[in-house]
Each structure stands twice: as structure tokens, then as C-alpha cells.
Chain A
Amino acid sequence: MTDRHRIALTVNGRPCEAEVESRRLLVDFLREDLGLKGAHIGCEHGVCGTCTVLMNGESIRSCITLAVQANGSSILTVEGLAGDGRLHPLQEAFWDHQALQCGYCTPGMLLRAHELLQENPRPTAAQVRAAIASNLCRCTGYQFIVEAVLDAARRLEAGATGQGHEPAASRT
């Protein structure tokens, strides 16, 4: 017996309908069913934060949320951050400050930082550290991430909209 449900939600601004098995985790739905591989799978029990996505503007762990629980919601993944082939100012700042090495935690970090800057456009370094405490990074030691988020806040306040770097794909 397979228990399946029809869900309707918005993902990165686009309406989406699908039939999912009730045990389908949101992160697997995003990655496997929608092909959005940005939300990574790490610990699969809600500890590491690399699967972070925004649901109705709030950060959640998509590895401990069922796809059926996302019915009717609006989801933002890292794929929805960049627009018009240009990186989001946060992504630019991560690039410029080398706020990633292996990149595995980066999508979650970006979305968590994005949420922080929406709520608090001028955070202190301590507030940035407190906010990203929910997300593990095993490479950077966090310092460059904090610097990148603070710089992104300055760029956004100065009116940046993502006109800097082109994404790597269009560079080559």
C-alpha cells in the first residue's frame, strides 16, 4: 500500500502541483521530483542545516519536513535567490569574501543569511553569528561567512540588486 497525496505549492515563485508519497521528505521532493539540487542533504535529522529552505519566508529544515506538510506554502530554495542570470548580492559577497570552500553548507547559509537580512538589514557581527549558529560549516571557521553577510548587508543598503559577478556558468 502506498499512501499518496496531491499537493499544490509555490516554489521559487512558480506554482507547482504534484502527487507525492506521504513519507516523501520535502528535501527529496525538491531534489528528486523538481530537480532543484540546491537544498543539500547532510545529517537527515535536522542538525546540520544544509537542507535549509524558506517556507513562507521562514527558514526550515527540509529534511525533517514532509512534502505533504508543504502543501499550500511558498518555498524559496537557493535557486530562487539569483535572478536574471545574476547572482544575488549575498552570493556576490560570499564569492568576494571566499565564504565557502567545499560549498556543501552554502545554500543553507545563504538562505539563513537572506532571512536574517530581511528581518534585520543592519545586523552586528554577533547577530550574524547567532543567526548562522543553526547551520554547520566544516571548512571556513565561519569568519569569512560572517564578513560576507555583513558586506552583503552594506551592499543591499547601498541599493545593490545583483549587478556584479555573472554566475560561473555564463563566464566560461
Chain B
Amino acid sequence: MKPPPFVYHAPGTVAEAATLLHEAGEEGRVLAGGQSLIPLMNFRLARPGHLVDITSVRELDYIRAEDGRLRIGAAARQAAVERDPAAAERAPLLVEALGFVGHEPIRHRGTVVGSLAHADPAAEIPAVALAMEAELTAVHAQGERRIAASEFFTGPFSTGLETGELLTEVSFPVWPPGTGHAFVEFARRHGDFAVAGAAVLLHLDGEVVDRVAIALCGVAGTPVRATEAERRLLGERPTPAVMAEAAEVATSRLSPASDVHGSSDYRRQVARAYVRRALALAAERARGGTR
């Protein structure tokens, strides 16, 4: 199990990386932490002719709090985000989810943006990006564009990125003070991909929910936003009954794939239970209980 031959590039700037990718065309792939891509290449499931290593691009290694957003550059490692005080303050949902991404040695190398680009439907960070309505920046040789997380994930391991484009940043809008967050997931072993996971942000106006976001991973070909369940919660007190009903609404129409870890029905039930738990934890935090 060794990767097939390829040409390795270590550009110093984003512009240089974009030019290299443009020239490589269909043969080009971005290499960041490599924690998904290199295994795929070891298995020879991926055979890119050119790898453009963006971790050598210093301008992409940042975690920045500005304009009410948390901005993370494409070279920033998951472990760096996990221990960043600005990330903990502005996107605690992301930081909580990162604890479920593989194991520490993987997070030392893996990047937040790379996980988005890889778009594994069972992965945690894409679900967080969807719940937080994150925005992605894609750069190509002629310019750049912004892509909403809701438009980005198009299928299993498939995204709206075009040939020759590279993601340079993900930016997360910060929710108001007092927002409760919760990321929970069930996996056969900690660090494995989720059988099902749920990301929730919940804000209270007095006793009733005035803003909420729910996203799931592991239950479909892409991460899923549960907008109908969110509507069910708005204007309501988050009582156990209301949250259980919202969890039912969030998962009743899902038809997750059956696999060795569980049948479709089992996964849906796990998802429902975990949405309920995530809502309960987020509501408790929003009320000022457990942080």
C-alpha cells in the first residue's frame, strides 16, 4: 500500500497554488493535512497526478476573530483550532465537535477546511458548518468566490468546488451571547466515524426559543439541516415533550443507508435520540446551566 507516483508542489502563496491547480486541471488535488487523501492514495482509490501542498502557504495558517465571525484559514490544523481561545469563545460548537474528529494524532495534521473539502457525509465539521451557516472562500486562477455551506455539499465526498479551485477559508458567523451549543454523536468506538451525530445551536428570549439551528451527520449522503424541526421549536419553551417532537420531525423522513454498523431504521432511531439529547444539552446551556 503505497501511493501511486505524483508530482509534489509546495507553493509559497495562494496565487501560486491557484496557478499550479489551474495548470494541473483534472490531475490536480489540494493536499492539506492529508489525513483522508493519503489513505485514499495508499489504497489507490485516488490517483492525482499533481499534489499542491497548501500547508506551505503561510498566509493560509490563521484563526482570526473579526467582524462577528471566526475565520479559519485552509492551513490551520484541527488541533490548533481546538486549543484556540477565540475559537472556544466564538464557535464552541465547532470546538466541541472537533473532539470527535478521529484521534489527537489525526487532528495534529488534519485541517478544518480540508475536512469540509473532503465532504465525508459522516464527518462532524461539515454538519457544524451547516448548522452555523458557515461561508467558504474558493480561489481559482482568475479570482475568488464565496460559497454558502448550504450550497457546498452536493453528495457523498462531493462538493460544489470546480476543477482548479481551492478552498482558502471557512468563516463562521458568531451567535449571540447566551447561545447554547451541543455536539453529540454515537460511534461504535470513540474516534470512529459517527453512526449518527447532531449539532445544535439554541438561543432563548426569556423562556422561549427565538433562534435555533439543527444539523445531522451520518444519516444521508450529505450533512442534513433540519429546518422543519427548527420551525417547530421557534416560539416554544424547550420542554422535554417539545424537544422530543422536534427530534422526531428532524429524523422521521431520513432514510440513512444500512451498513455493518446498523440498519437504516436503527440509524434513524439513533439520530432521533441524539437530536433530542443535543437539544436538551443546548437548552440547558442556553439557560445558563452547564457550559
A123 nearest CB across to chain B (Å): 13
* Chain A contacts for B157, CB-based, 8 A: none
State the main secondary structure of chain A at its contact with B.
mixed
Beta-carbon contact of A59 and B108 below 8 Å: yes
Cβ–Cβ contact A45 & B43, under 8 A? yes
From B4, B34, B38, B55, residue with most partner A Cβ within 10 Å: B38
With A2-B5, A28-B2, A64-B35 already in contact, the answer to whether A69 and B55 are too (CB < 8 A) is yes
Evaluate contact between A59 and B105: CB separation under 8 angstroms.
yes
The winner among A1, A2, A63, A66 for most chain B CB atoms within 10 A is A66
Contact, CB under 8 Å: B105 / A60:
yes
In the assembled complex, A12 has its CB within 8 A of some CB on chain B: no
Partner pick for B8 among A3, A52, A134, CB 8 A cutoff: A3
Q: With A134-B104, A134-B191 as given contacts, are A66 and B8 in contact (CB-CB < 8 Å)? A: yes
**A3 and B105 within 8 A (CB):** no
Q: Would A61 and B109 count as touching, CB distance under 8 A?
A: yes
- Assess whether B106 is in contact with A46, with CB atoms less than 8 Å apart: yes
Q: Give complex CA distance A71, B6 in Å.
A: 18
Q: Which residues between 1 and 36 of chain A lie within 8 Å of chain B, taking CB atoms?
A: 1-3, 5, 21-23, 25, 28
Known: A2-B5, A3-B5. A49 touches B38 (CB 8 A): no
What is the number of residues of chain A that contact chain B, defined by CB distance less than 8 Å?
A: 31
CB distance from A137 to the nearest CB of B (A): 14
CB of A160 within 8 Å of the partner chain? no
CB-CB < 8 A to B10: which residues of A?
68, 71
CA distance A28 to B1 in the complex (A): 11
Q: Are B42 and A60 in contact (CB under 8 A)?
A: no
In the complex, which residues of chain B have a beta carbon less than 8 angstroms from the beta carbon of A130? 190
Q: Could you say which of A22, A44, A55 contacts B1, with CB atoms under 8 Å apart?
A: A44
A149→B104 CA distance, assembly (Å): 18
Contact check, B103 vs A1: say whether CB atoms are below 8 A apart: no
| A110-132 to B contact mask, C-beta < 8 Å, 1/0 | 00100000000000000000110
Q: Is A23 a contact partner of B3 (Cβ separation < 8 A)?
A: yes
Is B7 interfacial (CB-CB < 8 Å)? yes
Candidates B42, B79, B104, B189; contact of A45 at CB < 8 Å = B42
Q: Which residues of B contact A58 (CB under 8 A)?
A: 79, 105, 108
- In the complex, which of the residues B34, B103, B109 contacts A133, with contact meaning CB atoms closer than 8 Å? B103
A102 to B103, CA, bound (A): 24
CA distance A170 to B55 in the complex (A): 43
24 contacts between A and B (CB under 8 A): A2-B5, A3-B6, A5-B8, A22-B6, A22-B8, A22-B51, A23-B4, A23-B41, A45-B1, A45-B39, A46-B35, A46-B106, A55-B108, A58-B108, A60-B109, A61-B35, A61-B105, A63-B42, A64-B39, A65-B38, A66-B3, A66-B8, A68-B10, A134-B191
Excluding A22-B8, A65-B38, 4 further A-B contacts by CB distance (< 8 Å) are A3-B5, A22-B6, A60-B108, A69-B34
Where the two chains meet, the residues of B that have a C-beta atom closer than 8 Å to any C-beta of A are 1-8, 10, 31, 34-35, 38-39, 41-43, 51, 53, 55, 79, 102-106, 108-109, 189-191
- Please give me the 9 A-B residue pairs with the lowest Cβ-Cβ distance, nearest first: A134-B103, A22-B8, A45-B39, A64-B38, A44-B1, A59-B105, A58-B108, A23-B3, A3-B7
